[in-house]
Amino acid sequence: MNEVIENIKSRRNTKNFENKDVSVEDIKTILDAGTWAPNHRDTQPWRFVVIQKNESLREKIINGIIDLKEKDSGKMQTDEQVLSIKNSVMTKPVLIFVYSLVDDNPIVSEENYGAVCCAIQNISLTATSIGLATGWSTGKISQIDNLKSLFELEENLRIVGVLTVGYPKPQPSKKRKKVEDVTKWI
């Protein structure tokens, strides 16, 4: 089977990683692939914030998630819940916060968002091709109130999600519906 198709079919949204560091060169490789995504008007709207494993900034991210969960639920997180959040953030080898440029024209902003989603797919497929895996989250970690100021970002940006990157633990096989079941030919 074609290598690209094999990477597409073997790629997984991964949450469980080996306790192994990812090289800066590998991160640069996958991000470079992301920057080659198609984008209308050549706006190149992707912006990335990379946080490696032992960065102290992860503590602020953990606190932001705890604050958000407490705000949403109206109650304090239990010790178990706090520990779960800490483990979730601290055990991921690399976190990449992915943003899209926002334009004054809402159509351009939407095109930019679509291009950044394509960039994430390029990143994920390239990671798969070099033995890494990614997980794409749009959950609480991407909804922390002060992320842009925490990262000192000044551009007008919209978060598209957070990628976790690392060497995957074994993954289950996956099935998809047949193309005939999701396609209407006219």
46 in a domain, yes or no?
yes
E strand intervals along the chain: 46-52, 94-101, 133-137, 157-166
Note the pLDDT of residue 117: 98
At residue 163's C-alpha, the angle toward residues 112 and 137, to 5°, is: 85
Is residue 161 left, alpha or beta, with left meaning phi > 0 and alpha meaning psi from -120 to 50? Answer: left
Mean pLDDT of 49-68: 96
Query: Side chain identity at 78, as an amino acid letter?
Result: T
> Domain for residue 186, yes or no?
no
Residue (of 31, 181, 5, 174) closest to 94 by Cα position:
31
CATH label of the domain that carries residue 101: 3.40.109.10
Q: Which of 116-120, 146-150, 164-168 has the lowest mean pLDDT?
A: 146-150
Asked whether residue 159 is domain-assigned, the answer is: yes
Under DSSP, the state recorded for 166 is: E
Domains contained in the chain, number: 1
pLDDT exceeds 80 at position 73: yes
87 pLDDT above the threshold of 70: yes
Range of the domain at 98: 3-181
**How far from the centroid of its chain's Cα atoms is residue 3's Cα?**
23
Q: Please enumerate in sequence order all residues whose Cβ is within 8 A of that of 29, keeping only pairs 6 or more positions apart, or say none.
A: 126, 130
Q: What is the pLDDT of residue 1?
A: 60
C-alpha to C-alpha distance for 100 and 107, rounded to whole angstroms? 13
pLDDT(149) > 90: yes
Q: Tell me the mean pLDDT in the region 117-142.
A: 96
> How far is residue 95's CA from residue 166's CA, in Å, rounded to a whole number?
9
Structure confidence at residue 7 (pLDDT): 84
What percent of the chain stands above pLDDT 70?
A: 99
